[in-house]
Structure 1
């Protein structure tokens, strides 16, 4: 159902298995402080190899069930590139809805280089053309201007404010509901 590997101009986006757990662990440890402001609070066990393996196995089950499409980001010009981020389509719904949520994160050392905009465009195109989805939703905290800039560049439009939408770093945070529609389905 899902492609195992997608490429863009500068990126390789790939589905991973448990063998990638050490590289993903390096990414989450390297970006612990950077991502803390934007993600749920993490327990100490999150930063262990065993826990990262469990997360990958859970992702693989959800992908097999068609509810998730998660890709990890690598630079295409470096064959053994470290993980520089991830992007996912979650809560994939079929039927009359044909919708999903998009989430992403990027290594602190790779900010402001256009990688995430490139990845969002690539995955949105794939969601519409190959997965046949009609709607992609991204929920972003109002103070996360960098993330809002990415989705705006990719054509997402605001649909409103979801108050106290997600518990991020131990606090219920408002999120701007951004949406990209598959114009080919109109």
Structure 2
């Protein structure tokens, strides 16, 4: 059964589908300037429906195998953000990475905190994961506050961790243990 939860009367968090290419391209196009300082440098093709049509199939397949869970925030058919659980590793680790963004028209309403809390519950109860981790740029205080409200704790600092906005940038690392030892 696909993952879906109503966060408010107007905002739903639901699993990404292969039919979301046009809506995803539109969301990234509308939020291009907003996301530029926080995202990897994107090729021009990334902002097209065609690019997303080609790549969504792989993401949906990855979700279906349990290696990831890709979700979107939706308001009246418009995608206004993403929340992803990626790089799921089983075995002794039982871990996944959390990444997210939200259109600035919808920030400040507690949506991301509620969404991450729902993802945490799903990762623990349905996926059986033991740990989630996330990383933010050191100056992204809003993202760090969201993680803290959702129960994550800061566990470290990683120099040159990810190539964001065309440069290798430091990140603050967070984790949330989902099961007691």
Match of 2:42 in 1: 42
1:17–1:56 Cα contact (<8 Å) kept: yes
Superposition pairs of residues 11-22 of structure 1, within 5 angstroms: 11-22=11-22
Q: Displacement, 1:18? A: 2.7
- Equivalent pairs, count: 179
Match of 2:98 in 1: 102
TM-score (normalizing by structure 2)? 0.94
1:146-170 per-position Cα deviation (integer Å, ceiling 9, x unaligned): 1000000011011110110000010
1:125-174 per-position Cα deviation (integer Å, ceiling 9, x unaligned): 11011111000000111100110000000110111101100000101111
Q: Is 2:122 the partner of 1:126?
A: yes
Gaps of 5+ in 1: none
1:6 corresponds, among 4, 7, 23, to 4
TM-score (normalizing by structure 1)? 0.91
Gaps of 5+ in 2: none
1:104-145 per-position Cα deviation (integer Å, ceiling 9, x unaligned): 110121111111111111101110111110000001111001
Superposition pairs of residues 18-167 of structure 1, within 5 angstroms: 18-75=18-75, 80-167=76-163
1:12-32 per-position Cα deviation (integer Å, ceiling 9, x unaligned): 222232322111111000000
CA RMSD across the alignment:
1.3
User: Which segments of structure 1 move beyond 4 Å, counting only runs of 4 or more?
Assistant: none
Q: Write the distance in 1 (CA, Å) between the matches of 2:40 and 2:7.
A: 31
Match of 1:179 in 2: 175
Q: Write the distance in 2 (CA, Å) between the matches of 1:19 and 1:87.
A: 17
DSSP-derived class of the 1:83 partner: strand
Q: Write the distance in 2 (CA, Å) between the matches of 1:101 and 1:179.
A: 9
1:8–1:122 Cα contact (<8 Å) kept: no
